[in-house]
Structure 1
Amino acid sequence: MNKVKRNVVGFLLAAVALVAAGCGTANEQAASGVPDKDDNITVYTSFYPLQYVAERIGGDLVEVKNIVPTGVEPHDFEPTAKDIVDITNADLFVYNGSGFEAWAEKAIEGLDQAKITVVKATDGLELLPAGEEHGEEHEETHEHGTEDHGHGEFDPHVWLDPTLLKAEAEKVKDALVARDQANSQVYEQNYQQLAADLDKLDGEFQQMANGATHKEFLVAHSAFGYLAHRYGLTQIAVSGISPSDEPSPAELKALVDLVKEHQIGYVLFETLASPKVAEVIAREANIQTATLNPLEGLTKEEAEAGKDYLSIMRDNMETLRTVLQ
């Protein structure tokens, strides 16, 4: 985390301490660590996929609030002092970890974990190194977007592999059960339904990948390593782990040459970041553009249309079906 971000988080934590000093009565109500039976459990999540998971598992028994607003790219998001104070009044705080939310890693240091259950959803998962291109059928590593970019040594985008999102969801389920044992059966049933939906999605992706003519796809942002690794594909990334990273002119030229060498017909950009670099690649290499959604958050249009993790992942699957012909 750079100096500016450390200062911002430090200021927010100081603000939390000041506000908390004036909110003792409210906090004392949760002192036992068990929610009032008449109230829903309040769950704060750090970004959209975890919000989706918590809503599916908790159902009507929980109130889920996502810290990152709809339409905001979460990589460089910084919470307000109010956001941090709100988290201190939650029953559960769920974040991805592994370098994805630098602010969350720091913020939890100021939380009373005797009152607030903190779930780091990537704990115990087998993580891929940051900045590498992954695919079972390709040993070559392309040198585009391989710098660390301040997001840690591991790629945090685990939710784009449905089986890994299922593993994250299980941690959320376990936390809810521990917090509210009276409703453990409801949480377990909801989790099992979600797990079945994710298993079905996984099977559909595997079938699509098995039928693909090509196994490589070019993306503007190195977010799809877990998806590629799961289904025997290879992502070639224009930028690194953060979508704000841009390649140098020399790297752009190398990418254009790579596109021609591998007969790649599309460059894929995402929903919450600028398509500028992808459009340059498309123009220089005379290829088409399409959207591959990293599901780091919903756009306002997606939210209004009722889109969710499953529907957007199936949109991604159809895009890849076309791109990999």
Structure 2
Amino acid sequence: MPVSRRLALPALVAVSALGLAACGDGGADAAAGQAGDSGDAAITIVTSTNVYGGIAAAVGGDDVEVTSIVDSLSQDPHSYEPTVQDKLSVSEADLVIENGGGYDAFLGRLADETGVGTVLNAVEVSGLDEHAGEEPAGDEHADEEHAGEEHAHGSFNEHVWYDLAAMATLADAVADELARLDGPNADAYRQRADAFIEDLQPVQERLAALASENAAKDVEIAVTEPVPAYLLEAAGLEDVTPEGFIEAIEEESDVPVAALEEMKTLVSGGGLAFLAYNGQTEGAQTEAVRSVAEEADLPVVEFTETLPDGEDYVSWMAGNTDSIEAALGS
């Protein structure tokens, strides 16, 4: 592999000491700062969010040192403004991991500005967007923030970390890239990636069972933002959120009055299984929709864009699946 390029491989992720207290599943026991106990220099990894940080820690173990830029539920990855320290961290990284698809364009800009050697893109490795690898005309990474808008607000959902199969593929690619960077520990990276993938399988099996149960029922749900769409689809659920509502939320603009009223009518009408709610980027209009749902006794299932404190990726997705099952059974 050439050293200076973006790779269509899974994004390796950084874990900050605050963002992940532990990463138990998949063999990841090390938090940031514990890498390199053997005395050898650890591979340094910077990622956009602690979701990818958790996966990086699971695969890299004590042989890597990871830093997640967005590592708190109080931060909105869409609008994050990087700091001088973030730029310094990226400049010193052996590997940078971005989500891509216009989601975390700040990290791509930092990578370009600092000339970091290798950048992994999770959207590209997922294979979920056939156009993800296409660069805009002109400068290789010019206007990257706007280049992703076609995906973010069109038919493609850039929140690929909610697709468990994609994250299994990501773990494979992370192991391959770490093996390239650190050949002596290649077997350890492969073993930890295999363990992570094995830990994901029971969650995938539960989702498949839900999909089978829901196949003949036409179970409908609505979302305040399509962040968990891949997970909901895997459970066999149909998203019937009004298009005008979702478009406005994704564009971070006010929802038109008619679309907001349509959404409120939908959640109060008694035909939905639950409302999927992203509290990490909530606003007055999504809060209003939630209030209507609660008044109608419609279950509200919380989803986030970053790992909650104390969770690793596998336990987080297992917990999300628990919440879906509970809402469907209520």
Query: Which category of TM-score, normalised to the shorter sequence, fits these structures?
Result: 0.7 to 0.9
Match of 1:157 in 2: 159
Structure 1 residue 186, shift from structure 2 partner: 0.3
Separation in 1, partners of 2:273, 2:202:
29
What CA distance in whole angstroms lies between the structure 2 residues aligned with 1:149 and 1:275?
23
* Equivalent position SS for 2:320: helix
Distance in 2 between the 1:243 and 1:121 partners?
Answer: 22
Moved more, 68-77 or 86-95: 68-77
CA radius of gyration, larger in: 1
Alignment of 1:1-325 (within 5 A): 38-71=40-73, 72-113=75-116, 116-127=117-128, 151=152, 153=154, 154-212=156-214, 213=217, 215-237=219-241, 238-240=245-247, 242=250, 244-259=252-267, 263-274=271-282, 276-284=284-292, 286-294=296-304, 296-298=305-307, 302-303=308-309, 306-325=310-329
Q: Distance in 1 between matches of 2:126 and 2:318?
A: 24
Secondary structure of 2:179's aligned partner: helix
Deviation for aligned residue 1:104: 2.0
Give the distance between the partners of 1:122 and 1:150, measured in 2 at CA.
10
Shift of 1:51: 0.3
Question: Alpha-carbon deviations, 1:100-120, whole Å to 9, x = none?
Answer: 11112322222434xx32211
Tell me the alpha carbon deviations over residues 220-258 of structure 1, each in whole angstroms, 9 at most, x when there is no partner.
Answer: 111123223434322244534749554222101112333
User: Could you list the runs of 5+ residues in structure 2 that have no partner in the other structure?
Assistant: 1-37, 131-148
Distance 1:46 1:39, change over 3 A: same
Which of structure 1's runs of 4+ aligned residues deviate more than 6 A? none
- The alignment covers a number of residue pairs equal to 265
Question: Deviation at 1:185?
Answer: 0.2
* Identity rate, percent: 26
Q: TM-score, normalised by structure 1?
A: 0.72
Distance 2:316 2:236 in 1: 21
Taking the aligned partners of 1:265 and 1:168, their CA distance within structure 2 comes to 32
* Residues in 2 aligned to 1:293 and 1:117: alpha-carbon distance in whole angstroms: 31
RMSD of the TM alignment (CA)? 2.9
Take 1:112 and 1:181, find their aligned partners in 2: how far apart are those partners? Answer: 24
Q: Which moved more, 1:50-59 or 1:197-206?
A: 197-206
What is the TM-score normalised by the length of structure 2?
Answer: 0.71
Q: Unmatched 5+ residue regions in structure 1? A: 1-35, 130-147
Partner amino acid, structure 1, of 2:301: T
The alpha carbon displacement at 1:97 in A equals: 0.8
Contact kept, 8 Å, 1:117 with 1:175, in 2: the verdict is: no
Deviates more, 1:103-112 or 1:164-173: 103-112
- Residues 291 and 262 of structure 1: CA distance in aligned 2, closer, same or farther (over 3 Å): closer
Secondary structure in 2 aligned to 1:64? strand
